[in-house]
Amino acid sequence: MSRNAYSFDITQLATNAVNKSYMPKEDVKQKLTLGELARYLGGKVVGDEGVIIRGVMTIDEAREGDITFIANEKYEKKLSTTRASAVIVSPKFQKAEMPCPPKADTALLIIENPYLAFARVVDLMSPEEVHPRGIHPTAIISPAAQLGQEVSIYPRVFVGERATVGDRVVMMPNVYVGEDCKIGEDTILYPNTVIYPGTIIGKRVKIHANTVIGSSGFGFAPEGGTATPVQGYFPIRQIGNTILEDEVEIGANSTVQRGALGATKIGRGTKKGSQVQIAHNVEIGENTLLIGQVGIAGSAKIGSRVILAGGVGIVGHVNVGDDVKVGARSGVTNDLPSGGTYLGYPAEPIEKMRRSQVAIHRLPAMMELLRSLKKKVAEIEKRLGL
């Protein structure tokens, strides 16, 4: 579409900073009854269905008019002290005998998955981001690039040769999109995102600030003979690309490197936290979660519905099966079959690792016992003249 068809409304952009669309919901004056929320979520109310819900808040900070939730048992005791008007809880809270019953004026919304229900309430009651449509005059768009309808291109964005940008894509300030990139509709690129040439990004993808997609992988061939010291390192050109499928989300300050040959691929619906490093030619399945500071070395293959907790490290060229869970700060050094939960370094099945930890804590006492036994054996040998 012709660039002249766009006009970037800078007044709208400035107004949005103080506009009600960015303010807490109580300023928007949207109100829902607890009964309406229960019907929306498919839950059951215990208490006053007519109580007015104006906002969502944590269980400690909630006040009258707020709804909160309990999804972790360690917070159950807060049910009797929260000032929230309503609390989303699981069916076990329908029991007549509760150790920490709610206050008389606190209603309960009973539902099978309180965490998911709370997320849906937040989505329902919180405003969506509003972006001005059009191209800011400081943006640099290649004449050979193709832009979809109703795009939002902020100041100082660069879009390179032959790049294809879908409908309603948002590029915030200082975004760089290299040549031959493809970006699907309704994708959002937050400030200072860098998309290297040849990257393919699906629909409804979110890439948060200061993230780099498609940079060169770490590949260097040592120069010199096997019997002589290394004279230097010859860079191995990384000529593959990077593919992010639909509905992927990438956290801030993260890196996904392009393939040395072929593609680095992240499957549909996978979510990646902040400060996560994905090396060249890694393949990740669908609906996998990578929590903050995860690092995955080159050519590793991660299955679908995997959860890698914070700080997990995975060596190159290993396979992690579907539905695997790996605990925080664990190190994966070998293939992991599907379905297990693993912990530690090297990562072991969690029950085995727990037994190992118990044994480690007993080592001082065991060493003391061993010394005592050796002393007694020596005394016996001395008496026997052995």
**What domain range is 263 assigned to?**
138-348
* 170 found inside a domain: yes
| Domain-embedded: residue 381 | no
**Do residues 158 and 284 share a domain?**
yes
The CATH number assigned to the domain holding 49 equals 3.40.1390.10
Burial tier of 128 (Cβ tally within 10 Å: 0-12, 13-18, 19+): exposed
Same domain flag for 192 and 303: yes
Q: Are residues 231 and 303 in the same domain?
A: yes
Integer-rounded Cα Rg, in Å, for the chain is: 28
184 within some domain = yes
177/296 same-domain check:
yes
Q: Both 176 and 84 in a single domain?
A: no
Q: Is residue 223 part of a domain?
A: yes
- Same-domain check for residues 303 and 271: yes
Specify the CATH number for the domain of residue 176. Answer: 2.160.10.10
Task: Note the helical H segments in the chain.
Answer: 10-16, 25-28, 34-41, 114-125, 350-383
Task: Show pLDDT as tens, one digit a residue, over the chain (386 residues).
Answer: 445 334 455 444 444 433 333 333 334 446 899 999 999 999 999 999 999 999 999 999 999 999 999 988 788 889 889 999 999 999 987 655 566 788 888 999 999 999 999 999 999 988 778 899 999 999 999 999 999 999 999 999 999 999 999 999 999 999 999 999 999 999 999 999 999 999 999 999 999 999 999 999 999 999 987 778 888 999 999 999 999 999 999 999 999 999 999 999 999 999 999 999 999 999 999 999 999 999 999 999 999 999 999 999 999 999 999 999 999 999 999 999 999 999 999 999 999 988 888 888 999 999 999 999 999 999 898 888 87
Residue 19 corresponds to which tokens in the numbers above?
């506009």
Asked whether the beta carbons of 350 and 333 are under 8 A apart, the reply is: no
Residue 158 is predicted with a pLDDT of 98
CA atoms within 13 A on the CB side of 371: 6
Shared-domain flag, residues 149 and 215:
yes
d(CA 183, CA 190): 14
Residues 146 and 295 reside in one and the same domain? yes
280 counts as catalytic: yes
Structure-token match 């309603």, residue found = 168
Q: Which of these three, 98, 125, 152, is where a domain ends?
A: 125
Asked whether residue 380 is assigned to any structural domain, the reply reads: no
Q: Indicate whether 37 and 113 sit together in one domain.
A: yes
Within a domain: 154: yes
pLDDT at 97: 59
Q: What is the pLDDT of residue 12?
A: 47
- Do the Cβ atoms of 288 and 307 come closer than 8 Å? yes
Q: Which residue matches tokens 């995860």?
A: 294
- 162 & 306 share domain: yes
The residue out of 125, 146, 180 marking a domain boundary is 125
379 in any annotated domain: no
Indicate whether 210 and 330 sit together in one domain.
yes
**Domain ends where: 69, 101, 125?**
125
**Nearest CA among 295, 305, 190 for reference residue 251:** 190
Shared domain check, 178 and 274:
yes
Q: What's the predicted TM-score (pTM) here?
A: 0.85
Q: Name the domain count of the chain.
A: 2
**Selection from 250, 155, 286, 153 nearest residue 163 by Cα:** 153
For residue 95, what pLDDT is reported?
57
- Given the residues 131, 208, 280, 361, the one annotated as active site: 280
Rounded-to-integer distance, Cα 110 and Cα 118, Å? 11
Instruction: Please check whether residue 210 lies inside any domain of the structure.
Output: yes
